[in-house]
Structure formats: structure tokens, C-alpha cells
Amino acid sequence: MRKFFCLSAGLAVCTMAMAGEKNLTPVTADQGIQVTAKRFARIAPDFKQTSPWMEVGDLQGPSACPPTALAFDCFEPDGAMPGFPTDGLYGLDCGLGTGRWYFGSSYCNMFTVNDMTVAPGFEGAMSERMETGWWWFAGGPGTSEQCLIAVFTADGFDDTCAGPPSTSGYSGVIFDFGVLPYGGYYWTDTEDLLCGSGLFFQMPMDGSGSYTSILANDFNGNTIFLATCGQTMLWGTKPGNPSQQGPIQWDDDNPSDGTHTAPDECYDYAFALCPDPLGAMMCFYAEGGSVDCLDLSIDNEFAGTPSTFTLCGLTPGGTAAVVYDFVEGSWNFSGNGWCVEFGLAIRNPGEAQSQLVGQGRDTDNDGCVQFTVPVPCAAGGKTVYFQGAEKNTCPDACMSNVLAVTFAPC
């Protein structure tokens, strides 16, 4: 067996480095197989087991977790319990359905670190639910192997390829799935397993950090033994996703020895595929998240006729604006009394001004403003995204929901 010693052992020290090319072409695998862990335990950043193994059948915790939402999503589940892999959740549909990317059945990379930026409002949250997907090669066709997966989070991530990959790490959880046969794109949703157990995944305190996945075939309480061969499946954080990640990922594949060597095992995952960039397939759920400050609605969705937009929740007498775009995205701006965090693909104040539905003050002091505008026939059959914002709320942004409207043709 190959021992897994520590995250930082053997790392080269340098002040500047460049991400390497993967020299592999991702391919897709369809029809993932759902599996459920048989037991799990807490594991410290130094890989010491710090709780007893908890057998799934013996759990005495609550029957369900508190209501949660996706804090970070590089998995794209369908919103059910369990959350099956899907596509198109954030508008962009890659046409893969439940399929995901990987580097072919015999590529071995059992130790991966990638960055994550959680959705607004989830900074420092505690996650009791996680999903991930992986390819299990074991010893090749006709073989089976014990499958364990250790997952960690951390406050730091190195995207300069100087190393170490992650810093300020938190305790994680190691899951034992029993013996799994070769040749599977497997995925798991921990669902309610961690609720009441005292085990959780700590989201980065400032919202940006990293997550680590280790595929193993044994763990003795002090040492993780890497699996014979496997890899984490790949997906991405699409433009409409409120959580995001960059293109850099650290892989233990050159060689696979339980360490990350800088800069040789630091890679750019911008493959110009869909989604782009790719990253290790994983998501975390947590309590929290941003609550819309304002409520935006529309009274008419027929092109060729006037539509009235109503924006409520303002400070009485406040000033607000509604803008539109044809693509979801992310744009933050502070200036001239505005502090905004739009979920639209606006790039600058000039674009925001040119795509203005309306701007005005709440003259009735009822916390609402209305804007009535003609909708041209050219909008028929198209999906347009609208969002409102209130002025003079700095340093906080007071935003509405993003309203997606597909106008009926004239």
C-alpha cells in the first residue's frame, strides 16, 4: 500500500510559478451510480482520527437536517434528497444530463485540492451535507477495492503554484463506502447522515478557501493509504452560480505519491469545455445564505404590450433602479451612492445605465416603486433577466431577486 504522509511534505519552495498544462483530454462518463457510506469519522488535518467510527445504521441523531441551501456547488444537484447530478440548473445547459467529465478510466489522481468561494451569506457556515462524484478504477477490470473518501476544507488556497496548495485547514470527515467494483462513475449525497453527529465541514471564514478530496483504500486512524487508482469526477461553477471557483487545481499525479509538488502538480483546468473551467466535483450545503433585500415582480409577460415592474422592500422614501440583461452573471460596483451586487452579466456603469428599465424615488413612502415600460415585439420568445437595487445603502448592497421572464411572442 502507498502511505499518505502529509499535505506539505516534499513541496518545492519558490516565489513564482506557472500552472502546468494537463496534457490529457477530458471525456464524459454517463449514468453515475449512487452509493451511501456505511460509516464515517472525524479526521484532523494531520490525518489523526478524532472521533469513533459512526455506523450509519446506529445513528441516533435527528431524522432530518435543518433547511439548508447550496453554499458551494461544483456538483449541480437537482434539488431533491438525494440530489442527483443534473445540468442546466444555472441557465447554462452543457447537454450532459447526469454525465460528468473525467480523464479516462485508467488515469490515477487520488488527492486533489481546489479553491472555492461560497455563495453570499455562507461565510463561516457549518455544512452537514456534502455531495461528490468519483471514478473508481480499483486494480483494473474484474477487481474490487475498499473505498474510503476523506474530505477537508481550509481558509487558504494557493493559485500561484508556489505551494502549499491549502493553508489554515479544518478537520474533515472520512467516509467508508465498503468494497466497490472497478469501472464506476460513483456519486454520493450524505443527506442527513452528519446531522446530530457533531461532524461538519467548515466553510471558509471570509468566503474564499479550498476543499480537498482523498480517495483511499485503508485508514488506520493515523495514516491514509491511497487507493490503487481512481479520480474525482469533474464539473464546474457556471456563470449563474452564486458560488464560484478559479481554473487552478492541484493533483497528485506526477507521480501519485501522497504529496503535491510545486509547480509540477499545479494545473490550469480551463479546457474550453462546458462548463469552463472544470474542477473537482463536490458541493456543500449549509444554513445561511443571502436573503433578498427587495422583491421584484412583473404584471405582464407578453411582448408588444406595456409591462409594469413593482419593486418593494425599500426604505420609505428611498431611491431604486431596475436593470435588465440577457445573461446572468456577477457584477459588483460602489460609487455615486450605489453599492450593488448584480447577478447579471453587466460589466460597467455605462452598461447598467444603457440597460435601465427605470429609476425613481418612493414618493408614497410605502416602500415600493413601479416602472411601466413598453416591451418590444423583438423580445418575444426571449428570456430576459431583471434585478432591482436600492440607492444609499452603502456599505451594504440591497438587491432584489433576479427575475427571469420569457416573453410571449406578439
DSSP state of 204: P
Per-residue cell: 265 = 502538480
**Given the DSSP bridges, would you call strands 33-34 and 184-189 parallel, antiparallel or unpaired?**
parallel
Report how far apart, in Å, the C-alpha atoms of 127 and of each of 19, 31, 116, 204 are: 30, 27, 14, 11
pLDDT at residue 275 is higher than 60: yes
pLDDT at residue 406 is higher than 80: yes
Residue 395, preceding peptide bond in cis (omega within 30° of 0) = yes
pLDDT at residue 291 is higher than 60: no
Please, what is the Cα angle at 86 between 81 and 91, to 5 degrees? 120
Per-residue cell: 124 = 463561516
Give the pLDDT confidence score for residue 91 in this predicted structure. Answer: 85
Looking at the structure, do residues 246 and 306 belong to the same domain, yes or no?
no
pLDDT at residue 9 is higher than 50: no
Looking at the structure, do residues 281 and 309 belong to the same domain, yes or no?
no
Percent of the chain beyond pLDDT 90? 68
Which residue would you say has higher pLDDT here, 223 or 196?
Answer: 223
Looking at the structure, do residues 395 and 246 belong to the same domain, yes or no?
no
Domain total of the chain: 2
Looking at the structure, do residues 23 and 137 belong to the same domain, yes or no?
yes
DSSP state of 377: G
Please give the residue range of the domain that contains residue 313. Answer: 295-406
pLDDT at residue 66 is higher than 80: no
DSSP state of 349: H
For the chain, the first-to-last Cα distance in angstroms comes to 68
Residue 42 banded pLDDT, cuts 50, 70, 90: very high
pLDDT at residue 15 is higher than 50: no
Looking at the structure, do residues 51 and 177 belong to the same domain, yes or no?
yes
Give the pLDDT confidence score for residue 31 in this predicted structure. Answer: 83
pLDDT at residue 295 is higher than 70: yes
Looking at the structure, do residues 280 and 308 belong to the same domain, yes or no?
no
227: closest CA among 323, 329, 149?
Answer: 149
Give the pLDDT confidence score for residue 20 in this predicted structure. Answer: 61
**Among residues 235, 263, 286, which one ends one of the domains?**
286
Give the pLDDT confidence score for residue 27 in this predicted structure. Answer: 86
Which residue would you say has higher pLDDT here, 407 or 234?
Answer: 234
Looking at the structure, do residues 280 and 299 belong to the same domain, yes or no?
no
Looking at the structure, do residues 175 and 40 belong to the same domain, yes or no?
yes
Give the pLDDT confidence score for residue 365 in this predicted structure. Answer: 87
How many helices, marked H, and strands, marked E, lie in the chain?
A: 1, 32
Q: What is the DSSP string of 92-135?
A: ---S-TT-EEES-TT--B-EEEEEEEPPTT-TT-EE-EEEEEEE
Per-residue cell: 242 = 452564486
Give the pLDDT confidence score for residue 12 in this predicted structure. Answer: 30
Looking at the structure, do residues 234 and 311 belong to the same domain, yes or no?
no
Provide the residue type at 40 as one letter.
F
Domain CATH number, residue 341: 2.20.130.20
Give the pLDDT confidence score for residue 18 in this predicted structure. Answer: 55
Which residue would you say has higher pLDDT here, 300 or 132?
Answer: 132
Using CA atoms, how far apart are residues 130 and 352, in angstroms rounded to an integer? Answer: 37
Average pLDDT over residues 211-232: 97
Give the pLDDT confidence score for residue 75 in this predicted structure. Answer: 98
Mean pLDDT of the chain: 89
pLDDT at residue 313 is higher than 80: yes
Per residue in 150-197, pLDDT (tens digit) is 999 999 999 999 999 999 999 999 999 999 999 889 999 999 999 888
328: closest CA among 314, 317, 341, 337?
Answer: 341
Per residue in 69-113, pLDDT (tens digit) is 899 999 999 988 899 999 988 888 999 999 999 999 889 999 999
Q: What is the DSSP string of 13-67?
A: --S---PBP--S--EEE-SPEE---SEEEEE-TTS-B-S--EEGGG--S-SSPPP
Average pLDDT over residues 386-406: 89
Give the pLDDT confidence score for residue 183 in this predicted structure. Answer: 82
Looking at the structure, do residues 36 and 183 belong to the same domain, yes or no?
yes
Give the pLDDT confidence score for residue 21 in this predicted structure. Answer: 65
Looking at the structure, do residues 244 and 316 belong to the same domain, yes or no?
no
Average pLDDT over residues 190-219: 94
**Among residues 286, 310, 326, which one ends one of the domains?**
286
Give the pLDDT confidence score for residue 2 in this predicted structure. Answer: 40
Residue 385 banded pLDDT, cuts 50, 70, 90: very high
Which residue would you say has higher pLDDT here, 293 or 368?
Answer: 368
Query: Residue 337: helix, strand or coil by DSSP?
Result: coil
CA 238 distance to own-chain centroid: 9
Contacts of 229 (CB under 8 A, 6+ apart): 106, 107, 108, 110, 137, 138, 139, 140
Which residue would you say has higher pLDDT here, 299 or 154?
Answer: 154
Its pTM stands at 0.69
Looking at the structure, do residues 281 and 242 belong to the same domain, yes or no?
yes
**Among residues 286, 305, 325, which one ends one of the domains?**
286
